[in-house]
Structure 1
Amino acid sequence: MKKIMVILSALVLLLMPLQTGFAEEVKLEAKSDYLVKFNGPADQGLLNAFGVEDHDVNHTFEKLPVVALSLTEGQAKGLLNHPQIEAVEQDAEVQAFAQTTPWGISHVQGTEAQDAGHTGNGVKVAVLDTGIDCSHEDLNVSGGHSVFTDSANNDPCNDGNGHGTHVAGTVAALDNNVGVLGVAPQTDLYAVKVLSNDGSGSYSGIAEGIEWSIQNDMDVINMSLGGSQSSSILEDYTNLAYEEGLLVVAAAGNDGNRGGNNDTVGYPAKYESAMAVAAVDENNQRATFSSTGPAVEISAPGVNILSSVPGNNYDSYNGTSMASPHVAGVAAQVWAAKPDLTNVELRNLLNDTAQPLGDSNKYGSGLVQSLDAINQ
């Protein structure tokens, strides 16, 4: 008999550590937060049957039979399979939506001007480009025109290239907690499609776009485009826009060399009635591609510029095409703040308040500065 008792005692001793270890494993099983919805009144007894204790109940809702619980994975699976339970969902984490302020916007004092209440409200900016994706979540396009008649290009809201949508975002991407922020987010944007979806166009098309802008009372024209050959008719239209009171802003071109010692500014930027915009990087150094020459009038960010592209997307581009809309956006901010200025006075003010950067053939008057212009 003693022998049997000894054996039984040994068995009990062997079993005890195993039982203790199993209990500890249950206690240590990770729990996550869940939302559980009953298909009738919430039943605390049912929860208790699955081992849910009072301290596991994070919140009991009143309007719907929903309880916020801390559950193990096994408890969650068990509840999900019960006929009295309609849904078991992991309590997902949420974050505040955020938008990115591209470096160029603050670099031209765009954000400082916005903080002071200057958002370009009421100023009309015509973007003569590949069109604008009018359905983009970050853009508010007020209207537009296409110079093309073919089905692929006759809609100014169809930007099959992306260039125009990117330019538009720099001018006026909305302050809406998504995507990016533009220089003048309350500016009235107009899509004037003078370049096809493959990015090409003609001087006659640009002239037509300028004419439309004059006829439709635009305030600022942005032309992030150009060619190497002059045209007296294109010059006449550029001059006419300026004479009619519009501010004409154009990309200087991307034909510069590392030394920056050539006269490579393209047209229409090279015409006296247009502001030719050169590109600089975050260190205010001229981008090596930025065209140079006596026609360069002012500078703006044009390297690694993040902005909107079609399909509610965003991308970074380089070019004086990216610099020009910074100036157009600043012009909108300043003109909205100082509506009594003529276009000539506005142009002079932007040049007078630009931050000097050096050689005028490379930088013109320097880096455009919005708040300084507004405060002068």
Structure 2
Amino acid sequence: MKKILVLISALVLLLMPLQTGFAQEVNTQSKDDYLVKFNGPADKGLLKAFGVEDSDISHTFDELPVVALSLSEGQAKGLLNHPQIEAVEEDAEVHAFAQTTPWGVPHVQGTDAQNAGYTGNGVKVAILDTGIDATHEDLTVSGGHSVFDDAENSDPYNDGNGHGTHVAGTVAATNNTLGVLGVAPQAELYAVKVLNNDGSGSYSGIAEGIEWSIQNGMDIINMSLGGSQSSSILEDFANLAYDEGLLVVAAAGNSGNRGGKNDSVGYPAKYSSVIAVAAVDQNNNRASFSSTGPAVELSAPGVNILSSVPGNSYDSYNGTSMASPHVAGVAAQVWGAKSGLTNVELRQLLNDTAQPLGGSNQYGNGLVQSLDAINY
């Protein structure tokens, strides 16, 4: 930070006869930009007494007695000690706060697709989760619904857990020079709170969230959640959404083992109408926690994923919960580019253009790739 110069003493009135000559002496010194604030009305005559020329003054403010100007170091020190001057401050530079692109976004060709003009504009993505912090600086939430009626959980735009806000950021954190960048920054986010602030919910709540998504014209449902027990009714709701033209994406689960040979995909990801997403790291190795089995359909980044969390903050999480929204975001980009596709055709396209990584039980058809799907 630049050092701020402040008024030290009024006794230098005694030195005034010397200061005019001093100003002439230092006028040839190199100059920097400053802000000078007067105790009363701005007095350009005083500035001239210190050798300041009209060409040195870049702006005189109206609302406060402040002048922006160029000064030598000697002029600045002299003005600092004058009783009519309240402050002399170097005019510090400012820069836009940097926006970080989490590694997973370019890994699924999200940034390549954005650079080509595909941002998911107008595609509606329902985040069935713990809610979304709608006040977050990096998120725009278009609507939502909570399946809860108690005071602590009835507001879908209040995420007391953080999980849903993190998922939402991966899908569509805005391109605004702040925080992080999502895969599809112009997709429309909808907060569908089916998990409470403790991160728990029920199959009936998920079914209600799916129903709300159908009734309110969502295009994509992301479910970074799941359970180990099947439900024919929950499956019926997932099938209904798919039959109604929605693309349904869910986390495969975090019940995998290092060998990766068990069938541990959870529900609803295991239903045939749902895209089950496994997690990989930056080297395209399957995360050891990522569930495996015949239902795994696609892979996406799920290790050390930086995204938004409540309170205008950011954090890195691991899990297939983080992989699923990468696929949802890619789907939004591709559907925005190819709006004539049906959800069935879009799903097939994502699978056909995925980058093969290995065994299908671990990786499905491979790493989802946005621009390849758009250009296919």
Give the corresponding residue for 1:296: 296
Alignment match, 2:223: 223
* Distance in 1, Cα, partners of 2:170 & 2:74: 48
The answer to whether structure 1 residue 172 and structure 2 residue 188 are counterparts is no
The answer to whether the 8 Å contact 2:238/2:274 transfers is: yes
Q: Which residue of structure 2 lines up, in the alignment, with residue 88 of structure 1?
A: 88
- Higher Cα Rg, which structure: 1
8 Å CA contact retained: 2:140, 2:174: yes
Q: Which runs of 5+ in 1 are unaligned?
A: 1-26
Q: In the alignment, residue 293 of structure 2 is paired with which amino acid?
A: G
Using the alignment, how far apart are the partners of 1:195 and 1:31 within structure 2?
Answer: 60
Within 5 Å, give how 1:1-376 maps onto structure 2. 33-38=33-38, 39-44=40-45, 46-47=46-47, 52-54=50-52, 58-62=56-60, 64=62, 66-70=67-71, 72=73, 75-76=76-77, 79=80, 82-83=83-84, 85-376=85-376
Structure 1 residue 90: deviation in Å? 3.2
Q: Cα 1:345–1:310, aligned 2, differ >3 Å: closer, same or farther? A: same
* 1:71 Cα offset (Å): 5.8
Distance 1:262 1:80 in 2: 78
Q: In structure 1, what is the Cα distance between the partners aligned to 2:289 and 2:199?
A: 19
What's the offset of the Cα at 1:122? Answer: 1.1
Distance (Å, rounded) in 2 between the aligned partners of 1:130 and 1:206: 11
**1:190 Cα offset (Å):** 0.3
- Give the Å deviation of 1:74: 10
**Any idea what SS the aligned residue of 1:248 has?**
strand
After the TM superposition, which of the residue ranges 32-41 and 215-224 deviates more from structure 2? Answer: 32-41
Q: Which amino acid in structure 2 is aligned with residue 337 of structure 1?
A: A
**1:184 aligned partner, one-letter code:** A
Q: How many residues are aligned here?
A: 347
2-structure distance, mates of 1:372, 1:269: 24
The aligned counterpart of 1:4 is none
Q: Please report how far the alpha carbon of residue 42 of structure 1 lies from its aligned counterpart in structure 2 after TM superposition.
A: 3.4
CA distance in 1, matches of 2:132, 2:186: 16
Deviations 1:160-195, CA, capped at 9 Å, x for gaps: 000000000000000111111111111111000000
Q: Aligned partners of 2:192, 2:74: CA distance in 1, in Å?
A: 57
| Letter of the 1:369 counterpart | Q
Once the two structures are superposed, residues 108-152 of structure 1 have per-residue CA deviations (whole angstroms, 9 ceiling, x without a partner) of: 011111111111111110000000001111111000000000000
Q: CA deviation at 1:232?
A: 1.1
Question: Can you list the C-alpha shifts for 1:34-67, whole angstroms capped at 9, x where unaligned?
Answer: 31033324335x3466xx5559x85442555514
Letter in 2 for 1:232: S
Contact preservation (8 Å) 2:99, 2:177: yes
Cα displacement string for residues 68-122 of structure 1 (whole angstroms, at most 9, x for unaligned residues): 2446599558637623x35433322211332111111111011111111111111
Query: What amino acid does structure 1 have at the position aligned with 2:355?
Result: Q
Q: Secondary structure at the match of 1:61?
A: strand
SS at match of 1:127: strand
Q: Residue 373 of structure 1: SS of its match in structure 2?
A: helix
The answer as to whether partners of 1:173 and 1:181 remain within 8 angstroms in 2 is yes
Q: Structure 2 CA distance, aligned partners of 1:100 and 1:73?
A: 42
8 Å CA contact 2:52–2:71 kept in 1: the answer is: no
Structure 1 distance, partners of 2:78, 2:251, is: 61
* Amino acid paired to 1:125: V
Alignment partners' CA distance in 2, 1:152 and 1:176: 31
Distance 1:366 1:207 in 2: 29
* Contact 1:42–1:66 (CA under 8 A) maintained in structure 2: no
1:146 and 1:73 map into 2 onto residues whose CA distance is 64
Gaps of 5+ in 2: 1-25
* Matched residue type, 1:104: G
**Aligned 8 A contact 1:33 1:70 in 2:** yes
Show CA shifts across 1:257-299 (max 9, x none): 1111111111100111100000011111101111111110000
Quote how far apart the aligned CAs of 1:207 are.
0.6
Following the alignment from structure 2 to structure 1, what is the Cα–Cα distance between the partners of residues 110 and 337? 13
Q: Which amino acid aligns with 2:147?
A: V
Equivalents in 2 of 1:234, 1:259: separation in Å?
30
Deviating more after overlay: 278-287 vs 89-98 = 89-98
Within 2, Cα distance between the matches of 1:32 and 1:226? Answer: 61
Aligned to 1:5: none
User: Does structure 1 conserve the Cα–Cα contact (< 8 Å) formed by 2:228 and 2:267?
Assistant: yes
Residues 80 and 145 of structure 1: CA distance in aligned 2, closer, same or farther (over 3 Å):
farther
Matches of 2:78 and 2:324 in 1, distance apart? 58
Cα distance change of structure 1 residues 291 and 58 upon mapping to structure 2, 3 Å threshold = farther
2:164 aligns to what SS in structure 1?
helix
Change (3 A) 1:58 1:367: farther
